[in-house]
Amino acid sequence: MYMSEQVKMYIEKSSWIRKMFEEGLELKKKFGEDNVFDLSLGNPDLPPPAEVKETLKEIIENYDPSYHRYMSNAGFPFVREIMARKITQEQEIKVSHEEIIMTCGAAGALNVIFKTLLNPGEEVLFPSPFFVEYFFYAENHQGIPKPIPTKEDFCLDLEKIESAITSKTKIFLINSPNNPTGQIYSEKEISELSELLNKKNKELGRPIYLISDEPYRNLVFDDEKVPSILKYYPNSIIAYSFSKELSLAGERIGFIAVHPEIESKKEILEGLILCNRILGFVNAPALAQRIVANCAFSKVDVGIYQKRRDIICEILKEAGLSFIKPKGGFFIFPKVPVEDLKFCEILKKELILVVPGRAFGSSNHVRLSFCVSEDVLLNMKSKFIKACKKIYEYV
């Protein structure tokens, strides 16, 4: 065997999203770009805010070769100061630049956090449905991923969470707005989760860390608000990304924010900074740090995504599918009347590509992305409804 068994297994597990994307490319070659409706990827398609372009111009006009040199593994101090102001405003608790570490997006942040905190065999709990990569990130650092079912509306089930916590539980990970469901965990849920974790901390004699993966924090609809975990729980850490709110997914830029009152703060911060280096990230991209420093409080036009969400909800409603209306993010996760793979295959015959829900822990759902234009959604509508009528023949 030339490849490790673990990586071979990962390829099999993670193939669904990539498989649909690759199939989409082939179908577009065969039938033409405008005739294929690819709702498989959450790849932000809106242009970045105007401030991004202006910042790039400014960087070029005031170009200095020193921009490309190494810096502290935690990132430029002036950038960390700005991120501290941002997180202080968003989380309603004072955070300093010392509690900020610039990272290669939220994915880089989560890997750094897991590497720092996990001992072999310790558990990482997270609500299900879940972002598929959480399994890989946890196992990368010898942790045990442990999904916990949510309620019918994808809200947290505190009773199931309490039952799932064991002496080996080290991390509880949330993602709000959630990928794939678009659900936002309410203020009440975060407060009750914090109370539960505090109770378990006393029983265990050590902290369970609450980690919040927040790439969609500022992509919310209908005046919804994402509650602050820092306000409720001292042993908490945020993994943040600018990929979605600034449409900079390819630039790989984000940060870690550590609660100023976290237990063993000095030790944890030292560990996070070291792990940013030894995992091979070294430091977050220098030019991307300069961009987000100027654009930290900007974002794309979220109203465009909200309008697309409303269109796709109307299509699903007309098609007779049951769904929870997303409160934020890029995705909707409807329940389907047949096995997810069969549903996806029937849609594919109409040149519509979606991802089977089993990739996210739920084989009776599928995930649809609305990172596509309104025209794509409207042109897809009749084909989608036609496909669903065929599907009902199987039920």
Task: Indicate whether 1 pLDDT > 70.
Answer: no
Helix (H) or strand (E) holding 239: strand 236-241
* pLDDT recorded at residue 14: 65
Burial class of residue 129 (count of CB atoms within 10 Å of its CB; 0-12, 13-18, 19+): buried
* pLDDT recorded at residue 391: 79
Show the tokens assigned to 133.
């990569």
- Which of 39-43, 56-60, 126-130 shows the lowest per-residue confidence on average (mean pLDDT)? 39-43
> What is the pTM for the complete model shown?
0.95
Average pLDDT over residues 327-334: 98
* pLDDT recorded at residue 385: 95
67 versus 111: which is more confidently predicted? 111
pLDDT tens, residue by residue, 16-48: 676 777 777 788 888 887 889 999 988 999 999
Q: Where are the domains of the chain?
A: 5-48+300-392, 50-295
User: CATH topology of 5-48+300-392 equal to that of 50-295?
Assistant: no
CATH topology (fold) of 50-295: Aspartate Aminotransferase; domain 2 (3.40.640)
The CA-to-CA distance between both ends of the chain, in Å, stands at 43
Task: Indicate whether 394 pLDDT > 80.
Answer: no
CATH number, span 5-48+300-392: 3.90.1150.10
pLDDT tens, residue by residue, 359-370: 999 999 999 999
Task: Indicate whether 150 pLDDT > 70.
Answer: yes
Q: Are 151 and 294 in contact (CB under 8 A)?
A: no
